[in-house]
Structure formats: structure tokens, C-alpha cells
Structure 1
């Protein structure tokens, strides 16, 4: 295992640990009991205002072959409904080399009238795009187990929701939302879990995300443990 955090050993209140860092702007990270008796134990609450950000950052990673698996259990209270094309990120992987790889994020798509999951990247030769899919609507108010795989052999990202593969969200070197450029991984050393919205004056004006059972590994972790 490259990293795991279930928040059980952390005291309630402002989140902090020697095993990870925080990256916030107009946002907070707190450790809280699970609400409404959904499950026992504690989780991470991510709260932002406007187009703020709040991330738990796992640094100094060195995944073998620049490839790894990830997992997070999450619940989003509400996704943006304005402005049109509002773009948000929940997991971001960066490292030496250009680009911010976002295996878990999405966008409010006005033509569909809903938020859709997508895989995207910003910066460098990879360009700026979000490969959202109408077959993958984002659902608010429920807990989901989300997994992803980063495979450097073909710069491939694959996604699973509650153990079910989402092949429409798969991207690789040549098959992605950008046109005329290759999708290229940096040499990963950091993975961030949390929330960031990139457009100002959104609706709703604040965002509440809950996360638990964060994991990064060289093999699939799964949702059973």
C-alpha cells in the first residue's frame, strides 16, 4: 500500500496528520463522526465557499512504474447548477513534468441539465479538457465508493463506481477529450483528495463533501475493505 487513511485515529476537529498535508483557500478540512448513523467511525468533511478549494495532499509518492490504483468513499451534498459549464475536481494527481491529471472530477453541462463525471487534465502538452460523459451522471446526497487506475504504459485512466466499471470514462494517450494532442502523465509524486470549483459566483455558493477510506496502492484495493 502506498497510502491509506480512515481518520479513525484522528481527533475530531481541524484535520491534520504527519502523513499528509493540507491545501486550502476559502475552504476547511475537519474530522467528524459519520452523520445520521450511516456508518460507525469518523470521516473527513471538506467545506468550501465560492470557487474555493480544500484538499488533503499525499506527497512524496513514488509509485512503481508511475502507475497506481486509488480509492475513496465520498458523498457530495450538492453539485453546482450555475454558472454553465462549472468545472470541479475531487482527486488530482501531479508530479515532475507538465499537467494536472484529474481522474475524478466533472462539470455542470447545461445541454444535459446535470452534472456529469469526467476525466481531465490542465496544462502542458496535454492541453485543457474534460472528457465528461452523459452515461456517468454525478449523484448528490449518497455515499459512493469510487476507484480509479492510473496505467502509465498507455497514459490510461480507468474508473469504477461501487465496484462497477465505467468504460465510457476511460481515457488514454490518444483517446481523450482534447483534440490533436497526446495525453501524457507527469512523473507522479502527489495526489490530492478534496474539492475545488474553478468558476466564481457559483450556485450553490458553498460546497460540502465528505470523504473516507482513502487509499493508494500498487494493486486494486476494492470496496470491500
Structure 2
């Protein structure tokens, strides 16, 4: 049911800050990143028949597993990210919130979540959000961008200097999944507080549902890259 992700990545113009497609690794013990888990979550390296590799996360309920690159400090807090993911999503409770990417910045309380989503009335939809900063805990999900089992290539742009976040799914811009100083907190949070992006100095890719739930999640993540320019999915 869960296939190995096929890598068809061609990185040409972007200056890379971090890149990991797992193919050259023998384990997830690496000098370039750390694996962080909680609960009973497990992370493993798996291979396909053609030799390509991916990171597999096995997680129950609200356990968490993330890959965190070392020495992450993009100039001016501006960067692009890209990864491929395939996962199942929670069936309970209603309004369960999950994340795939989260970053933080030195001296700022904000937990910024450019890629995540929420279960609302039996549908999981992708969303963008934050927590712990002046704007509070919010997730702006879009029912028109449903979260399904199919593999997606997800890109995101973070600009601390311009104070905005953009997202792209399978190469297509997602204008509903963006955030800026004034565009945020549609769903909960403090709508009146300006959303000021911190300059990122830590980021992680993976999976967590924050609410206790009955789910067992098999998450496949591959082709992670961070660069100074848009990286692309081809």
C-alpha cells in the first residue's frame, strides 16, 4: 500500500543549504542531520527494488518523528524547501491538527508551520499555521486542498525579509496556503496581531498529530532539500 518514493530530482540553479535523498546512506545515523522522536515513534531507512532509499516513520497516536538538519541558518531568514511525502492521515478526533514542517528562530517564541493540516468534519485538508507567538495557535486549512494518500512533492518559500510564506504542491502555486503580516489566523489564533516571521535557525521535517488519536501512521519522506532559490520537483 505504501510504495517507495521514486526520486526524479534535478537540482540545477539553487544554492543548496541542505540536501538529503538517503540513497548514499547505510543508516539514519548522519553527521548532517538528527532524528528526533517521541512516544513509540520509529524512523528507519528503507530501500526499493531499484536501489533508491527513503525515510520511513512509524508513528502511533500523537507520537512524533522528525529529521532536523544540522547547522541551519539561512541568510536573512530567506529560503526555499522541498520534500516528497506519502502518508495516511488521522480519522479522529475532529479538528485534529498535524504538521510536516516546523521552524523556529533565535529569540522568537513562534513555532512556524509552513506545511501541515487539519481534520475537520471527516476531511483532512492541508494548511499553514503557527503557535506560541503573538498570533497564537492557528491553522489556516483549505478544504479545496484535500490531504490524500497519494505521494506529493511539496515546496515552500519562507521570506523573513519580505515577511511571507508561499507553498507549491506538485509544482503548482497554492495561493490559499500562504501567510503574511496581515494574512493569517483565519482559523483560531489572534487575528489582530501582526504575523512577523522569525529568522529561522532550526527546521524539521516529519510527522506529528498533536491530539491523542487512534491512528497508526506510516510516513514516507524523501528528496529533502533546502536552498536559496526555488528547487523544483522535476
TM-score above 0.5, yes or no? yes
Structure 2 equivalent of residue 92 of structure 1: 102
1:8 aligns with 2:23: yes
Q: For residues 131 and 84 of structure 1, what CA distance do their matches in structure 2 show?
A: 15
1:169 aligns with 2:183: no
Instruction: Say whether the 8 Å CA contact 1:59–1:189 is kept in structure 2.
Output: no
Structure 1 equivalent of residue 114 of structure 2: 103
Ranges in structure 1 where 5+ consecutive residues have no aligned partner: none
Q: Give aligned pairs, total.
A: 213
Give deviations 1:111-147, integer Å, cap 9, x for gaps: xx3001000101021311001011211111x211100
Structure 2 equivalent of residue 66 of structure 1: 77
Q: For residues 146 and 128 of structure 2, what CA distance do their matches in structure 1 show?
A: 13
Give deviations 1:9-64, integer Å, cap 9, x for gaps: 1115xx22110112101211111013xx6x75000001111110000111321211
1:195 aligns with 2:204: no
Structure 2 equivalent of residue 149 of structure 1: 157
Structure 2 equivalent of residue 135 of structure 1: 144
Structure 2 equivalent of residue 118 of structure 1: 127
TM-score of the pair, normalised by structure 1? 0.91
TM-score of the pair, normalised by structure 2? 0.87
> Which of structure 1's runs of 4+ aligned residues deviate more than 3 A?
none
- Aligned-residue CA RMSD (Å): 1.3
Considering fraction of residues, name the structure with more helix. 1
Ranges in structure 2 where 5+ consecutive residues have no aligned partner: 1-15
